[in-house]
């Protein structure tokens, strides 16, 4: 290949544009060459977006078969979960800014309604089923409809939320949980707005 002169280059470009755009007049082509740069358009092929595969978790049936939420009998000991209760107390104190005596009860109540209750000590104070009244222990698991509570006698109790009232005491502040209005998972409660009601029945 031999280097082309300026005139030869102009002739080549003019001929190339004439062949590429046969409908354009020579004057228009000349105007393009003298007034602005020539941009040769290129349309790249659109790449097809790859759909991300969603990772599927276990179904409810698979969780039951794998016994993911089962607490082994040798682990059903009250003393084993006392450190969890101490952590929960510190968590609530931090959440409620120390539970000061001048704190407004409805503010603390609102925070407790959205708080994680795993590790809290609760007592069943009222129930439509008398056998549940008086059960006291640490909440080990909370589901939508039940609490799993370990008592001081190292017995694991499954207590339904429906038709039960639970009391919760911390640093002299006693709060009551009406289970019938509490039929939510712990993750759902954190985003729910609870309304204050004057009278609540079981």
The answer on 47 and 112 residing in a single domain is no
pLDDT at 1: 46
Residues 83 and 116 grouped into a single domain: yes
Q: Which of 176, 183, 166, 170 is nearest to 132 (CA)?
A: 166
> What is the tens place of the pLDDT at every residue in 56-86?
777 878 877 777 778 888 889 999 999 999 9
Q: Is residue 171 part of a domain?
A: yes
More confident: 118 or 70:
118
The reply to whether 70 falls in a domain is no
The reply to whether 179 and 133 lie within a common domain is yes
Mean pLDDT of 115-128: 94
- 151 with 117, same domain: the answer is yes
In a domain, 71, yes or no: no
133 pLDDT band, cuts 50/70/90, is very high
Domain tally, the chain: 2
**Rounded to 5 degrees, what are φ and ψ at 23?**
-80, -15
Strongest mean pLDDT among 46-50, 163-167, 180-184: 163-167
Average pLDDT, the chain: 81
> Do both 18 and 108 map to the same domain?
no
61-65, 127-131, 134-138 — which is least confidently predicted? 61-65
pLDDT at 198: 53
As a whole number of angstroms, the distance between CA 33 and CA 16 comes to 12
Q: Has residue 127 got a pLDDT over 90?
A: yes
Q: What pLDDT, in 10s, does the model give residues 147-173? A: 999 999 999 999 999 999 999 988 888
Say yes or no: 87 and 141 in one domain: yes
Residue 202 lies in a domain: no
pLDDT score of 46:
74
Q: Is 43 a residue whose pLDDT tops 70?
A: no
Range of the domain at 154: 76-191
């Amino acid at each position: 290949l031999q280097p082309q002169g300026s005139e030869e280059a102009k002739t080549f470009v003019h001929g190339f544009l004439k062949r590429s755009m046969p409908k354009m007049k020579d004057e228009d082509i000349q105007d393009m060459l003298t007034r602005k740069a020539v941009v040769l358009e290129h349309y790249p092929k659109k790449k097809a977006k790859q759909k991300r595969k969603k990772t599927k978790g276990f179904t409810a049936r698979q969780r039951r078969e794998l016994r993911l939420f089962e607490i082994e009998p040798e682990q059903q000991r009250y003393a084993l979960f006392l450190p969890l209760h101490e952590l929960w107390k510190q968590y609530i104190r931090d959440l409620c800014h120390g539970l000061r005596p001048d704190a407004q009860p409805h503010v603390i109540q609102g925070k407790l309604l959205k708080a994680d209750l795993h590790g809290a000590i609760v007592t069943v104070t009222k129930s439509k089923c008398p056998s549940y009244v008086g059960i006291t222990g640490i909440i080990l698991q909370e589901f939508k409809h039940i609490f799993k509570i370990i008592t001081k006698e190292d017995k694991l109790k499954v207590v339904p939320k429906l038709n039960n009232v639970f009391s919760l005491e911390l640093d002299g502040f006693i709060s009551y949980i009406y289970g019938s209005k509490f039929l939510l998972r712990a993750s759902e409660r954190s985003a729910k707005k609870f309304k204050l009601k004057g009278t609540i029945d079981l």
